[in-house]
Structures are given as C-alpha cells and as structure tokens.
Amino acid sequence: MRQIRIIACFVFLYLCTNMYAQLSTNELPVSFDSKSGLREMSKSTTPVATMPELDMPKIEMEDMQNERKGIPYRFGYKHKVHYDLNNSGIWYEFPNGDRLWQLNVVCPNALSINFCYDKFWIPEGGKLFVYSKDRKQCIGAFTSKNNKGDIDHLRGFATELIYGSEVVLEYFQPKDVSTDAIMSLDYIVHGYRNVKAGAGALPCMVNINCDEGQSWQNEKNAIARMIIEGSSYGTGSLINTTNLSEVPFFLTANHCVTDVGKDALGNSNLDNTLFYWNYEAPGCANISGEPSNSFVTHGATVIANNSISDFALLRLSEDPKDYVGYTPNYLGWDHSGQSGDSCVCIHHPGGDVKKISTSNGQPTNYIVNWEVAWKSNPNGYGITQGGSSGSPLINNMHRVIGQLEGANFEECYNPNVRSYFGCFNMSWTGNNDNSIQRRLNCWLDSLNTSAQTMEGLLVIRMTKAMNTDQELYSNIRIANNGQLIVQSNIELKGNSQVIVESGGQLIIDGGTLSNVDLDLKAGSTLRIINGGVIDTSNGFRAPLGAIVDVVYGQIM
C-alpha cells in the first residue's frame, strides 16, 4: 500500500503542474494619454454603476458574530452583480480602429473598492486597467498572461484594492485583435474598514523590521498578506519541499478557505484571492502610506486541507519569484512534534503591514495544536489578531511547526493572551488520513525521503550582498544571472546546501562562509577575493565546466 500511495502522490503532483502567469505590466491606461482624445469625452459619457449604501449596524453585528466564530477578518461588503463588456459600460472607437471600454463604479462612502470576476479571459494584445476616478491610484495592465483558464474553460480573477469611493474599469483592445475579451464582474466589494498600512493592527504590534525581526529577514520574504475571495484577510507562507523544487506551495489555515466554501476535494479554485508580497514598513516605525515595494499575485488552488489541525496547502497560480526585485524564501519545516526552545510568528494582523510576535518560552503541545504565550519586547508586545490566521509558527531553528488557528484575546499587554496553532506534525499525515488532499507529506516530500526536518530555501536571482554577520538557517540556490557576494561572516546551520546553477556566481569577498555543502554546476562560478574563506567541510562538488577562481583567499 505504501508503494501505491507514493506513485499516486507523484502522478497527482505531475498533473497539477501548469505554466505560471506573469504579473501586471505596470503601465498607464490608454485614456491617460492626452493624445487619445478620450479624456474629456469620457468625463460626461461613461456610464456609472452606483451600489446601494451599506446597512452598517447590521454589518457590524455580523462582524462581531464572525469574530466569535473565528471567521477571517472582514473589511468589505460584497455586492452581487452581473456586469460584463456587453451589458454595461460604454465602448469608444478610435479613428484607427482601436476600441476602448469604460465603466465607472461608485460605492457611497467607501474607503476602498475591489472587484471579483467569475469569468475572465483576455486575448493576446488586450489590456485591462483599474484606477481611481481622481487617477491617483492605478493598477494594470492585466493581459492574457493573467488568464487562469482558456476561452473554452473560463476561470475567475480578482483585482486589488483601489482607495476611495469611485473607480473606473477600462479595457483596451487594439484593432488587430479579432477575438473579444470575456470579463464578467461577479462582486463589487465595498470596503468599510480602513485597510491602509498602519490602520489594522493593534498599537502594541511589532513591525518586522524592528530589532526583534533582524534575525528573521530571510524568512519574512516567505510571508504574504491574503485578501481571501475579495473581502476578508488572512496570512500564509511559501514552504519548501525536500527536492528544493521552488513550486509555489503556500501554507495557511483551513478555515481561511472553508469559510469561503473552498476545499481540495470540491470547489478548489481560489481565483478571487490575492497575495500581497513585501507588504511591510521599511523600518521600525509605522507608515501612513502604502509600502513602496509591495506587489500582488492573483489566484491559487487548494491542493490539500484538513480541519483537524486547521491547515490548508495552496498552489499559487502566479509565481511571486517572477517579480523582478523579489528574493523568494521557502520556509523550512519540522514534523517531529518537537517545539524547539522558542518560536516567532510573522503575520499581517488586521491586514496591516508585516509584524512579528515572540513567544514567552516553549509552546505547549495539545496533540492537534500548540498553545503559545507571548512576551513583551523593547518595541512592543506582539500577539495575534484577526487577519493573522494562517501565519506560520517558526521555531528557533527557523522551521515551521504550525499555522495560526486563532487566539483567545485580542488585547495588548494582557499576560493571559494565548494563540493556538495547528501542529505541523498532525498536518503531515492528516491524522493518518488516506487521501493525499488531506495531508502535507505527499506534496512537501513527494520523493518519500522520510526526512523529519527540512531547511528553508533562499533563491538568488539577482545581485545580493551579505555584509552583516549572521547565522543562516536555509539552503541557498544561486540561479542563472544571480550573484551572491559574501562580505561578512555567514554560518549556515543544519544541513544547508549552497547550489550554484549554470550562469550563477558565488563570490567570497573578504568574508567567511562556513558549514557549507557546496554544489557547483557546470557553467557556474566560485570566486574568492580579498582574503575570503569558504569552509566546504560538509561537501564540495565542482564538475567539469565549473569555474573556481581563487584570487586571494582559501577553500577549507
């Protein structure tokens, strides 16, 4: 039976493999060009879709009830609609044959507006933009690269928040594109809670870039803020596999997906879910505006989930590593059932910028979950709250041992505050569930290595300098055109490898890289200069075609 299960895991993993879509193109809408002649015309002729005003007493009562039930933190009300390119808005035609469609959307007194689409397909050459009526905020273009399905198998989509109460949808179709786009709005989300950075978290929360987060600067890149199916918040993290595959597996909480009707064995598409990366304050102080280097990926599929330990494993539809400037980190894990000496939680409370909470000693194991008490730090008292659900519990060896289920208080500086995390070791086998959609091991250890622990994976795709002494609890892969420059004393912990792919460069520039299992591939480069030292006592593989250039320094 064990052999059959291994084969089933492999086949299912292969069938789930797909091509990843790229992110938006970050260009201005066509109508913003004064030469288009559309700007003045559209002010008076573009139709307006106005949503009803909200019944706030009723909504506030629902939110109170949801919070008691542990339902994810809601920030917006979803208006059910059916607007598409044919039954709403207006088409404009340019003299050269290009066409442009616009629809103005108004949600009275809204703090933000965002959209969920039940059908979304853009032909090659088409471009969708979404922007505020005052043109101060704009997202797009979304193109054929963002399609989740094809024209015969339509899937959904979601676009991120635009702040304010009036938003414009704009679709541009060049004259040489003969196939029309298919875009159907399913929900317009009226944001009634302030979701801008600095607004959602309790005041005692500690930003990830305070001193308390300095030992977790690689791990923080694995964490993303989720907007779940348009209207609620959660948190989750990229997670590593034993074959270092860089598949964008994303660990979060089961209740984050089942509360919106999703399940690995049923309706598994999270096409209307958004993932915000690098959503953090640059320093320790809170910020009033949005993070400047944040970016968004769209959509996911639930591939495994289980209510016993409240875990859900997603596969992202758009791969964040495709974003230029982002250094992905895939978290390591431990399914031994041992907690380690202490732990941290990195999360997005209230949908706010990334925070870190530090445990007060070891967590307590209650078989299916960990109970964690928190401690006060110089920069605050990190706990968890609504929006933190799904965030990883990471032990002192920098390995995930669980994900957040909920907490018994949301109150600053209360010594009785406890948070509860589903146990990773229980999720590993799904409490011995036979279905691969109810367990983690088939996905994270498809090779069946039986490893109880796994280090993280840091992927270098550009030039990155390490110039601060640190311990690094991670494997490192230096990809083609990536360059890692070690200018300080870096000690790798655990069973970490450094893999330098063809076209990648590892440069030891006056620093020391120790405790290394180094695997150079043909076409890669190791260069040691300015008295640099690399300790390869754990292993050193350099095949024919790898370049090893020791100018001034040594290999130990």
**CB-facing half-sphere around the CA of 504: CA atoms within 13 A:** 23
| C-beta of residue 260 within 8 angstroms of C-beta of residue 290 | no
Q: What pLDDT score does 46 carry?
A: 87
Q: What pLDDT score does 469 carry?
A: 95
Q: What pLDDT score does 22 carry?
A: 45
Tokens of 361: 């000693």
pLDDT over threshold 60, residue 11: no
Indicate the pTM of the whole model: 0.93
H/E stretch holding 5 reads helix 2-15
pLDDT over threshold 60, residue 299: yes
Q: What pLDDT score does 41 carry?
A: 54
- 523-549 residue pLDDT tens: 999 999 999 999 999 999 999 999 999
Q: What pLDDT score does 40 carry?
A: 53
**CB-facing half-sphere around the CA of 474: CA atoms within 13 A:** 26
Q: What pLDDT score does 289 carry?
A: 83
Quote the strand ranges of 271-334, DSSP E: 274-277, 295-298, 300-306, 311-316, 329-330, 332-334
DSSP, res 266: S
Rounded (5°) CA angle 358-364-370:
75
- 420-454 residue pLDDT tens: 999 999 999 999 999 999 999 999 999 999 999 99
Tokens of 420: 């509860």
SS3 519: strand
Closest CA to 238 of 217, 257, 256, 224: 224
Long-range Cβ contacts of 32-38 (<8 Å, 24+ apart)? 32/135, 32/138, 36/94, 37/94, 38/92, 38/94, 38/100
DSSP, res 31: G
- 67-113 residue pLDDT tens: 877 788 899 999 999 999 999 999 999 999 999 999 999 999 999 99
Q: What pLDDT score does 554 carry?
A: 95
Q: What pLDDT score does 37 carry?
A: 62
| % of residues, the chain, pLDDT over 90 | 86
- 472-521 residue pLDDT tens: 999 999 999 999 999 999 999 988 999 999 999 999 999 999 999 999 99
H/E stretch holding 142 reads strand 138-142
Least confident of 1-15, 84-98, 217-231: 1-15
Q: What pLDDT score does 333 carry?
A: 98
Q: What pLDDT score does 1 carry?
A: 26
d(CA 349, CA 205): 8
d(CA 466, CA 330): 19
d(CA 44, CA 175): 25
Q: What pLDDT score does 410 carry?
A: 85
Tokens of 149: 């399905």
Neighbouring residues of 84: CB distance < 8 A, sequence distance ≥ 6: 119, 182, 183, 184, 185
- Looking only at the bridges linking them, the beta strands covering 470-472 and 489-492 are parallel
Compute CA distances 306 → 98, 110, 263, 371, whole Å. Answer: 50, 36, 9, 19
Compute CA distances 428 → 191, 204, 339, whole Å. Answer: 37, 34, 15
| C-beta of residue 387 within 8 angstroms of C-beta of residue 350 | yes
pLDDT over threshold 80, residue 205: yes
